[in-house]
Amino acid sequence: MSDPLPPRSDDSRPRSYRDASEFDDFDRTQDEINLAQTRRVVEIDMEVHSVQTPRTPDAGIEIRGRLRRPSHEVFGGWREAFDRMKLLPFLVPDRVAALPGAVLLRLVAAPPGPRPGNPTINLVLFILTILTTFFVGSLYSPDVRATGMTDLLNPANLIQGWPFALTLLAILGIHELGHFFAARHYGIPVSLPYFLPVPFAFGTLGAFIRLRGPIDDRRQLFDVGVAGPLAGLAVAVPLLFAGLQTSELATISGQVMLEGNSLLYWGAKYLVFNEWLPDFATGLDVHVGPMAMAAWIGLLATGLNLLPVGNLDGGHVVFSLFGGHARYFFRGTLLLLAVLGIAGFAPLQAYLPALEHIGYTGWLVWLWLIILVMGPSHAVTLDMVTELDVRRRWIGYAVLLVFVLTFVPVPLRTFVF
């Protein structure tokens, strides 16, 4: 390997990275790839042991060797250089080589760039979600006295839904913006948030963003994954306490619909009212106001997003932390949801009344969705060698604790006091 030339005064990047820009017209057909130039890009930071040329038109170049520097310091420069050559790099541990630290770099033709999104769709969905959350919020307002749908749709009544609507939209919106800005920080193409309006239940099914490009490594995946829940939680917790402060204790009688307790929600009610609520013996519970109800929904959504499966936020976290071992979290989550779902059947609860506090048949629907729609797949990063640093690992463990604190075994239940 020849020594690299000294950098020009106007560019401090390694010579191999700069020279890659000379090949912007690189022929993308795999059988004509200039192996010498691809090797020149990597050999400064990699001790190259072998280069395997493609055997079929859609195959990639495979370069085996050992890195001279940590992968997270190397891969960004490679990605930039190969982008100019219209190649996409994948870096994985080399399971074939017997040498410790051996890696395999595979280069394939880069796919076309993402199509530009249509922000009009995002805007229309957001406006519709504003309307539906104001509508549902008005149902929670004590100031609305409506006798029919015409009264409910009266603007004077709809506007009374603002504490609920603005609280819920703030939590969901900031959650998604956390993902959005984390992705933009790393230059990952990402869509604007898509809100999902429904004119019943909570007024929305939540919101999501779409990543439109590959993620470099597990550190980027982790940062994008945790940014949403942490940002949303930073808003939801203060709003929950503010909402509980404006709620009142009441003695409930008859059949009512109860919102379920997460550990965080249960503890927050104790801190505000100095009571563990609800008290099933006396019927004492919080008459939840609109802001507190919206904050509870926001925390429920946080807990659901942190389920450690697939491409949910929790799936990103456990894959970033544990790599291939994340499959055990997937299996454990399926088992947990199956147990909680089966425990929700009335005949079992009649035999074991304690199951009323943990059983919810709705988890069987989630189990079906996870198996058939999400599956065990997770986000794939280009660099599978780089692992999380110590700081991110501790944050990851804290986020898993947040999941435990926000998960609601029985989100909604009817109870007769």
H helices within 251-355, ranges in order? 263-273, 290-305, 313-322, 326-342, 346-351
How high is the pLDDT of residue 186?
Answer: 97
- Number of Cβ within 10 Å of residue 187's Cβ equals 11
User: Which segments within 24-68 are labelled E, that is strand?
Assistant: 46-52, 61-67
Q: Which residue, among 346, 242, 230, has the nearest Cα to 290 in the 3D structure?
A: 242
Quickly tell me which residue has 């491409």 as its tokens: 311
Distance CA 155, CA 251 (A): 33
The conformation of residue 277, written as its DSSP 8-state character, comes to: S
Domain spans in the chain, listed from the N-terminal domain onward: 15-109, 119-416
99-103 contacts, C-beta under 8 A, 24 or more apart: 99/66, 101/66, 101/67, 102/49, 102/64, 102/65, 102/66, 103/46, 103/64, 103/65, 103/66, 103/67, 103/71, 103/385
The pLDDT value recorded for residue 2 is 41
The tokens of 1 are what?
């390997």
The answer to whether residues 340 and 358 touch, using CB atoms and an 8 Å cutoff, is: yes
Distance CA 281, CA 17 (A): 71
Query: What are the helix (H) ranges across 85-217?
Result: 119-140, 149-152, 155-158, 162-185
State residue 20's pLDDT score: 43
Whole-number pLDDT of residue 146:
66
Query: For strand 194-197 and strand 204-208, is the pairing parallel, antiparallel, or unpaired?
Result: antiparallel
The CA distance from 62 to 103, in Å, is 10
The pLDDT assigned to 12 comes to 43
How do residues 382-404 score in pLDDT, each as one tens digit?
A: 999 999 999 999 999 999 999 99
Q: Residue 260 has what DSSP assignment? A: P
pLDDT at 31: 44
What is residue 14's predicted lDDT score, i.e. its pLDDT? 44
CA gap 39, 277 in Å, rounded: 66
Q: What share of the chain is helix, strand, coil (3-state, %, to 5)?
A: 50, 15, 30
CB neighbour list of residue 88: distance below 8 Å, 6 or more residues apart: 82, 107, 108, 109, 110, 111, 214, 382
Structure tokens, 119? 């922000």
- Per-residue confidence of the chain (417 residues) as pLDDT tens digits? 444 333 433 444 444 444 444 434 444 444 444 677 888 899 999 999 998 876 665 668 899 999 999 999 999 999 999 999 899 999 999 988 878 889 999 999 899 888 888 999 999 999 999 999 999 999 988 877 766 677 778 888 899 999 999 999 999 999 999 999 999 999 999 999 999 999 989 999 999 999 999 999 999 999 999 999 999 999 999 999 999 999 999 998 888 899 999 999 999 999 999 999 999 989 999 999 999 999 999 999 999 999 999 999 999 999 999 999 999 999 999 999 999 999 999 999 999 999 999 999 999 999 999 999 888 778 889 999 999 999 999 999 999 999 999 999 999 998 888
Can you name the residues that pair with 208 across neighbouring β-strands? 194
